[in-house]
């Protein structure tokens, strides 16, 4: 596999205010470690986060006004996101709503990881909802797996990975939330990809859809044998769906067609946003 770099980023969407790139699975967004030199933060200012091992659509603001507009969309849960994943086992239901509350683990040896409510050491679990649609059943390196489309309706840390684990179908190649042992060390990457992104800002509708990375022509270990739901059909539904309206969590009725929830902004989130926007004042907008 070709190593990731800032130079070979694929551009999915470009305007005067925004850029959406297709992040490689082994490129970090940011880094606090001096050894990690290949990061997107060195050249770009991003509107949201993707885990290090997650590939796919990443939105970048190109000026201060655009950054503020995008921030409001994410804060109010008006952004539509969909991910592709290969998960362990054959999921029997064609559609699943996953609703485990997610909190931070304080268990020794599990620092910086998340857990579902009821897990020993799970602190401050918050409501979390994910819609899952099964696309295909098949084998990965001889083991049964399902290809799925995941739509997060809330934005908790590691939400999709934690929810897939809680469902009993962890993401293939997930060394943190997988089943452990040598099985998850064999895949060359974690099989989670940010496939579709729509950010309805005040001035433009930023929309991008990436190529599907989980196809046999790109990874010979993946061998699908049963089609459950065509991906093209879901893409059309995502594109045709109206932009979610801002709403509160209490008003939210969870279904694939309902708007995304919004939770009150915490002081930490507000401070982080202000610091982020302050960086734009260091240089004049071009």
Q: Give the active site residues.
A: 51
What does the alpha-carbon distance between residue 55 and residue 42 come to, in Å, rounded to a whole number? 18
Please say whether the beta carbons of 280 and 64 come within 8 A: yes
The token pair that represents 224 in the structure block: 């699908």
How many Å separate Cα 233 from the centre of its chain? Answer: 21
What does the alpha-carbon distance between residue 170 and residue 43 come to, in Å, rounded to a whole number? 33
What does the alpha-carbon distance between residue 24 and residue 200 come to, in Å, rounded to a whole number? 24
Please count the other Cβ atoms lying within 10 Å of the Cβ belonging to residue 229. Answer: 16
Per this entry, what is the length of the chain?
Answer: 286
Please count the other Cβ atoms lying within 10 Å of the Cβ belonging to residue 24. Answer: 20
């Amino acid at each position: 596999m070709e190593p990731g770099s800032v130079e070979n980023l694929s551009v999915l969407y470009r305007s005067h205010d925004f850029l959406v790139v297709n992040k490689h699975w082994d490129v970090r967004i940011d880094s606090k470690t001096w050894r990690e030199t290949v990061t997107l933060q060195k050249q770009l200012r991003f509107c949201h986060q993707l885990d290090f091992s997650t590939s796919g659509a990443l939105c970048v603001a190109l000026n201060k006004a655009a950054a503020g507009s995008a921030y409001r969309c994410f804060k109010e849960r008006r952004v539509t996101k969909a991910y592709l994943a290969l998960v362990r086992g054959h999921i029997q239901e064609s559609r699943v709503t996953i609703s485990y509350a997610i909190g931070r683990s304080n268990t020794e040896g599990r620092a910086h990881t998340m857990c579902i409510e009821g897990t020993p050491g799970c602190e401050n679990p918050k409501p979390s909802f994910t819609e899952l649609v099964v696309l295909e059943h098949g084998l990965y390196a001889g083991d049964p797996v399902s290809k799925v489309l995941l739509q997060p309706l809330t934005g908790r840390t590691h939400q999709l990975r934690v929810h897939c684990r809680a469902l009993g179908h962890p993401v293939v190649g997930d060394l943190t939330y997988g089943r452990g042992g040598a099985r998850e060390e064999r895949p060359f990457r974690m099989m989670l990809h940010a496939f579709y992104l729509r950010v309805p800002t005040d001035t433009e509708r930023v929309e991008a859809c990436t190529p599907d990375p989980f196809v046999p022509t790109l990874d010979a270990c993946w061998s699908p044998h049963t089609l459950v739901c065509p991906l093209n059909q879901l893409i059309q539904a995502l594109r045709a769906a109206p932009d979610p309206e801002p709403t509160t969590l209490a008003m939210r009725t969870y279904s694939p067609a309902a708007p995304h929830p919004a939770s009150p902004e915490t002081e930490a989130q507000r401070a982080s946003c202000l610091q982020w926007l302050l960086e734009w004042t260091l240089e004049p907008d071009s």
